[in-house]
Amino acid sequence: MLKKISGLKKGLIGEIIIPADKSISHRAIMFSSLAKGSCIINNFSGGADCRSTLEIFKELGTDISYTDSKTVKINSDGKLHKPSASLYAGNSGTTTRLISGILAGQNFDSVITGDESLSKRPMKRIITPLSFMGADIESNDGYLPLVIHGKELTGINYESKLASAQVKSCVLLAGLKASGKTTYTEPYRSRNHTELLLDYLGADIKVDGTSVTVCPSELSSKDITVVGDISSAAFFIVAGLITPKSDILMKNVGLNPTRAGIIDIVNRMGGDIEIVDKNIISGEEAGNIRVRYTENLKPCVIEGNDIPRLIDELPVIAVLASQAEGQTVIKNAEDLRNKESDRITSLVSELVKIGIDIEERTDGFVIHGKSKIKGDAILDSKNDHRLAMSFYVAGLVSEQEIGIEGFEWTKISFPEFEELMLNLMTN
């Protein structure tokens, strides 16, 4: 699908409600399926990745049904059951890596498959710690499909060289059924939705700096309300900051400190951003975000412990940096090469086509602002939803029309994206 977009004659004005956080939606289905009892998940994500998780847990014997498009009811006996077929994770790396930790300690065998893109993403990063716990996993040289022979696991003390919430969550979930305690330590603190939700549901879990320890636990069944996804809000934050005359209020956005790195970066760059009406929802911080067009954005360096807090937002941050004065440097982000596409090479090769001065580095990129986005090109999203949406945001301030190939992939994470943008354009 080719989507065309060109510079706006006026700003983006109005209020929008940011859709549900995908990371929390995945975990709400998984953890509630492990708890005995009934519960309601309010504001469940409509993205395809989260539906993959939902369908897999149906295959594993959990009684799951929609009461409306955003509300899910779960009845569980607290146990998973041997699936009758392989478990298809679609495009979702979160689904694959987290359920691997859950399935490794079950009393049955299972097979996880995925689409072409997911089948190219590395799984050795979870296979290694799970194997230390005694898991028996076969793979295609570290890639899907995974054949998991469920067996009893033993808790470990694991130090990771990578700050990854997916790997951390995989190990902690395996630890729920392992004998003894399991401790996971990472170099920087990655997003902590797993820790917060497990604590909310009564798990025996403790956090000490960058280490998390979990002991075998039975989870309680409780209703969960999912906050809005800050990764989705990021596209509107950047669009509002770079599109003249814009003023956007985003409601119900998750403000978890381990995810809200983009807010810190915008503040460093001098962007007009304001957080109001903070509260706590099912253990997660949330609030409303207001952004207004900012003409004189400053450059910055994004590195180290910044990266785990905004890894998914880096493509659209590159667009933001193109409209700042001076040189913005993004480094220590080599894991971008292991996403739905090689996001470093893909992003740089496409943004150059529309006049953005950006250089590829091994672990990131350097953006030289202030670039005029010329447009007059067709950009290949590489079937990567975050690249497609980042290119759309660039198109809002382009001098000529931009075409985006593969725009339909936005439905993977954010099916409401263009509708919300169009609503802001017409106000």
Contact status, residue 81 vs residue 102, Cβ threshold 8 Å: no
Question: Rounded to whole angstroms, how far apart are CA atoms 96 and 154?
Answer: 21
Amino acid at 222: K
Name the maximum alpha-carbon separation found in the chain.
Answer: 62
21 labelled catalytic: no
Q: What is the DSSP letter of 338?
A: G
Contact status, residue 205 vs residue 217, Cβ threshold 8 Å: yes
247 forms bridges with which residues in the sheet?
A: 13, 292
Long-range contacts of 123-128 (CB under 8 A, 24+ apart): 123/96, 123/97, 125/97, 125/162, 125/164, 125/167, 126/97, 126/100, 126/101, 126/166, 126/167, 126/170, 126/171, 127/100
Q: How many CA atoms lie within 13 A of 147 on its CB side?
A: 4
Catalytic residue among 21, 49, 306, 312: 312
CA separation (Å) from 261 to 211, 231, 267, 380, 389? Answer: 20, 10, 10, 27, 19
CA dihedral 342, 345, 351, 355 (to 10 degrees): 180
Q: What tokens appear for 420 in the block?
A: 């919300």
The answer for 403, left when phi > 0, alpha when psi is -120 to 50, beta otherwise, is beta
Question: Rounded to whole angstroms, how far apart are CA atoms 86 and 258?
Answer: 34
CA separation (Å) from 362 to 257, 353, 390? Answer: 27, 20, 21
CA separation (Å) from 172 to 28, 143, 177, 258, 353? Answer: 15, 21, 9, 17, 43
Question: Rounded to whole angstroms, how far apart are CA atoms 127 and 424?
Answer: 44
Contact status, residue 98 vs residue 166, Cβ threshold 8 Å: yes
DSSP collapsed to 3 states, 263-329 = HHHHHHCCCEEEEEEEEEECCEEEEEEEEECCCCCCCCEECHHHHHHCHHHHHHHHHHHHCCCEEEE
Residues marked as catalytic: 312
